[in-house]
Structure 1
Amino acid sequence: MHAPTESAKPTIGFILLAGALTAFGAISIDFYLPALPDIARDFGATAAAAQLTMSAFLAGMAIGQLGWGPLADRVGRRPPLLAGILVYTLASLALARVPSIEALTAGRFVQGLGASAGLVIARAIIRDRYDTTESARLFSLTFLVLAIAPMLAPTAGAWLLAHSGWESIFLVLAAFGLIVGLAALFGLPESRTAATAAQAAHETPLQSYRAALDDRRVLAFVGAGAFNSAALFTYVSASPALFIEHYQQPPTAFGWIFALNALGLVIASQANRAALNRWSPAFVARKGSAAALVFATVLLALSVAGVDDMVVTMALLFLGLGSYGFVSANASALALGAMPQRAGSISALIGAGAFLFGALASAITAPFAATGPLAMAAAMAAGFLGAMICIRIASRA
């Protein structure tokens, strides 16, 4: 157990490893997005059934974090982190040999359970070491590593799909899990604080969750992250059908389109670091959520009016997703900062809320994605509106 080292600057190695742990979810989604039409065809399944494999992964991410978070508070960060990465790696290997779409869906759920350990525990480790504002800056830095996944993964996945089939995508994910697991095993020391250990020793996971949710600030910032993620995952799940089927773009072109929109997230996440030198995390999150809502609402209004132009859709998605980058890191840091002694449990609530809302939003919008941007725009606007309301509630708590 260690005391927080808030004055220490994070090393490049720590930033890269924390980013890789956080990227388990993103890379596992984005890498195989171009393969969804081929997966549906090979198993004789509908496009909606193929989309549900992603919803299953998101559900696994949501449920898994609820278990890993309190466990990391109780036994330390390293044991559950390494166990989760092992589950992820083995599930990825198994997914390369599944016989049916149902088995693929079940396997993706298990893969999500394992992947969730990296995301939830990486956030807790950052909070162990740094205060709220520095955590927000570091979340933005790890987001830079995280954002490389949607910039490169769909293009790489499309290349693998063309040359080796969709099964090879899961073999690459297994290799990713192995490499990150070894890096964590040998390069990531235990960071759980004495205060966290003492708190966890005197309460059950349910008591920890209840105490966290009784705090209005924690509840509101967790809600902001959940609604924000619903908007993001709506885009992620709808974009393959929207661009490949509706706009008739080849999978390779979709990879570049997806990367371009991810660039907006990269720019915003780094601009967020600069903004935090002048304004508080809460102020930046408020302004970012309002901007995201404006861009999503414009896309919705144009869709209702019958304007369906791919370039216009891409531009508004670029701006809206960029605005997301000013909300996510700050909301997470503010939620964790409200009760740092329960960092694992609150990190689990952040992640579970994000992926649960994301899974629901993607499942609802998936059947309509190939018909145009209307359903996606409506769900994104609703998500950004919910995030903005939650941030305003938290600011008054």
Structure 2
Amino acid sequence: MSTPTEHPDPRSATPGATSDTLTDGTTNDPTSSVTSSAAPTAPVVPDAAAPRSLTKYVLLLGSMCALPAISTDIYLPSLPEVAHDLGTTATAAQLTMTGMLIGAAAGQLVIGPTSDRFGRRRPVLVGVAAHVVTSLLCMVAPTIGLLIGLRTAQGFFNASASVVAMAVIRDRFVGSTASRLLSRLMLVIGVAPLFAPSIGGLIAGQAGWRAVFGALALFGAGLWVVVWRRLPETLPADRRRHGGLRTALGGYRRLVTDRHFVALALLPSLGVAVLMSYVVASPFVLREGYGLSAAQFSLLFAVNGLGLVGGAQVNAALVRRVSPIRIVRVVQPLSVTLTLLLLVLALTGAGGLPALLVVLWGILALVNFVPPNASALALSRHGQIAGTAAAFIGALQSGVSGVISPVSGLLGGDAVAMAVVMVAAATGGLLVLALATPAYRRGGAWTGQI
């Protein structure tokens, strides 16, 4: 993989220093000029020197980020069969999903500092190899308790792929380029919820639910080979953080005391909350509430998935001309407006199902505008501990997903419940942006390019 010309960035000239002013990423890290004799490294690329084509990074890092999503979605159709085969309840079978989310949250918190200490390649190679092993063990799990434990471990190790992918982006790309790359990744990641359930259902229908884990093992093995051959080490030895638990905790302490970073890290999580309320509630809302058949629901789910992916690609093109923070501060109130409109339609029934679907599609099309921009801005504040910062952001998203998943069901599982959760999450994001950042203040530090 070729590496572009390096350009220094005064932001990271002092290790451990942070800036209260977010830039659009036209500069980068001076320490990127330090290379390790042990492995080839990739320097940070500013917007002005960004390569014309990011295809290689999109495919490689997108496949890494998609591993947790594929591991979740390909297994969804097998839940009833798992419960029946292992002689357990549907609730216990669903715990295999909850366990994976909990494992992912814990894994990201551990693997992030590990990648800052040992570099990016080793943690992801170990993590993906462990994914293969746990997938094979899931194939032969004799009890639901053991399967839950293995799925939790699988979530822990899968986190290595997504954490390292985000850290690599911060190591090499900054500002609008990083935001654009994150948006392009959504195209790869977005394929998982579109096709993984159908593929998983087909495999389970032909060979049983255990064969689904065999497919996951094969995918993991292929990903391991690609990472081993194609992923460069982007964190030179001279930039790695040395130390053990105290150093890792010190990194997290540094992050949580940066309120602007925490605010930006929360925005992707609240975006995930909007999405999760739809994913969890939509089968009940559309099939039971509006009488759609399984085929109609699958088609509609795919159409909405295209909205998610399409929105991400529009954002990727938009950040070439508009600063990431400007996009965030425009899209967030628009999301609140659409979720409130959805709630009104759900309460009144005005326009029937067509009106509900149009507004819902609009909400989902906006979901992927805020997370890549907010994540890129958050990561830009802590380039020296990009792995730890990426882990913090990812753990928040996994944790929020685990918490949000049952809420719409507890509220009744209908269209009103789904809309209420969406309104709460979108409004929460707007409040965080308005109260915890200077994004809407006149002369705010983050609005210099607007």
TM-score, reference length from structure 2: 0.81
Native 8 Å contact 2:113 2:387 kept in 1: yes
Matched AA of 1:4: V
Deviates more, 1:10-19 or 1:209-218: 10-19
Q: How many Å apart are 1:307 and its aligned residue?
A: 6.6
The one of 170, 194, 204 equivalent to 1:127 is 170
Deviations 1:146-185 (A, max 9, x none): 1111121122223223333322222211111111111001
Give the CA deviation at 1:91.
1.6
Runs of 5+ unmatched residues, structure 2: 1-35, 440-444, 446-450
Q: What does 1:155-166 correspond to in 2, within 5 Å?
A: 155-166=198-209
Alignment partner for residue 74 of structure 1, among 117, 128, 133? 117
Q: In terms of mean alpha carbon deviation, does 62-71 or 383-392 score higher?
A: 383-392
**What residue in structure 1 maps to residue 44 of structure 2?**
4
Q: Is the aligned partner of 1:383 residue 2:425?
A: yes
Deviation at 1:251, TM superposition (A): 4.9
Q: Which amino acid aligns with 2:137?
A: A
Whether 1:113 and 2:156 are equivalent positions in the alignment is yes
- Select the residue among 281, 285, 291 that pairs with 2:324: 281
| Deviation, structure 1 residue 190 | 0.6
Which deviates more from structure 2 when the two are superposed, residues 73-82 or residues 185-194?
Answer: 185-194
Root mean square deviation, CA, Å: 2.6
Tell me: CA distance 1:116–1:312, structure 2 relative to 1, closer, same or farther (3 Å): farther
Distance 2:370 2:159 in 1: 21
On the 8 A contact 1:33/1:240 being kept in 2, the answer is no
Give the aligned partner of residue 343 of structure 1.
Answer: 386
d(CA) in 2 for partners of 1:294 and 1:348? 31
1:110-164 CA distance string (max 9 Å, x none): 1111111111110000110111211000001111111111121122223223333
Q: Measure, in 1, the Cα distance between the counterparts of 2:108 and 2:351.
A: 38
- Distance (Å, rounded) in 2 between the aligned partners of 1:198 and 1:251: 51
Residue of structure 2 aligned with 1:61, choices 86, 99, 104:
104
2:428 is the alignment partner of 1:372:
no
C-alpha change, 1:24 and 1:243, in structure 2 (3 Å) is farther
C-alpha contact (below 8 Å) 1:308/1:372 kept by paired residues: no
**In structure 2, what residue type is equivalent to 1:389?**
L
**Equivalent position of 1:137 in the other structure:** 180
| More moved, 284-293 vs 140-149 | 284-293
CA distance in 2, matches of 1:117, 1:309: 44
Aligned match of 2:56: 13
How far 1:278 sits from its partner (Å)? 2.1
**Residue 33 and residue 299 in structure 1: after superposition, are their counterparts in 2 closer, same or farther (change >3 A)?**
farther
Flag the structure with higher helix content: 1
Kindly tell me: are residues 173 and 368 of structure 1, through their superposed partners in 2, closer, same or farther at Cα, counting changes over 3 Å? Answer: farther
Q: CA deviation at 1:291?
A: 2.4
CA distance in 1, matches of 2:415, 2:160: 33
Structure possessing the higher radius of gyration over alpha carbons: 2
CA distance, structure 1, for counterparts of residue 131 and residue 294 of structure 2:
26
The letter for the 2-side match of 1:109 is T
Q: Distance in 1 between matches of 2:195 and 2:175?
A: 30
Given the superposition, is the C-alpha separation of residues 270 and 360 from structure 1 closer, same or farther in structure 2, using an over 3 Å criterion?
Answer: same
Task: Report if aligned partners of 1:82, 1:184 keep a CA contact under 8 Å in 2.
Answer: yes
Match of 1:319 in 2: 362
Structure 1 gap segments, 5+ residues each = none
Q: Which residue of 2 aligns with 1:83?
A: 126
> Equivalent of 2:263, from 200, 211, 220?
220
Deviation per residue, 1:269-317 (Å, 9 max, x gap): 1100121122110111222222222222222233333679554444333
Distance 2:107 2:215 in 1: 22
* More moved, 139-148 vs 31-40: 31-40
Instruction: Tell me the distance in 2 between the aligned counterparts of 1:284 and 1:225.
Output: 14
Any conservation in 1 of the 2:107–2:156 contact (CA below 8 Å)? yes
Identity %: 35
Q: How far off its partner does 1:202 sit?
A: 12
- Identify if the C-alpha distance between structure 1 residues 334 and 50 changes in structure 2 by more than 3 Å, giving closer, same or farther: same
Alignment check: 8 A CA contact 2:346 2:356 kept: no
Q: How many residue pairs align between the two structures? A: 396
1:216-250 alpha-carbon deviations (Å, 9 max, x no partner): 22111011122222222232333445445555555
Q: Give SS of 1:192's match.
A: coil
* Greater relative contact order structure (CA < 8 Å, 6+ sep): 1
- Alpha-carbon distance in structure 2 between the residues aligned to 1:166 and 1:309: 38
Change (3 A) 1:347 1:334: same
Query: CA distance change for structure 1 residues 278 and 4 in 2, over 3 Å: closer, same or farther?
Result: closer
The 1:302–1:133 alpha-carbon spacing in structure 2 relative to 1, beyond 3 Å, is same
1:268 equivalenced with 2:311 (yes/no): yes
Offset, 1:383: 1.5
Give the Cα separation in 2 of the matches to 1:377 and 1:219.
26
Displacement after TM superposition at 1:254 (Å): 3.9
TM-score (normalizing by structure 1): 0.91
Tell me by how many angstroms 1:341 deviates: 1.0
Alpha-carbon separation, structure 1, partners of 2:50 and 2:242: 25
The residue that corresponds to 2:301 in the other structure is: 258
- In structure 2, C-alpha distance between the alignment counterparts of 1:107 and 1:247, rounded to whole Å: 37
After TM superposition, give the deviation of residue 388 of structure 1 in Å: 2.1
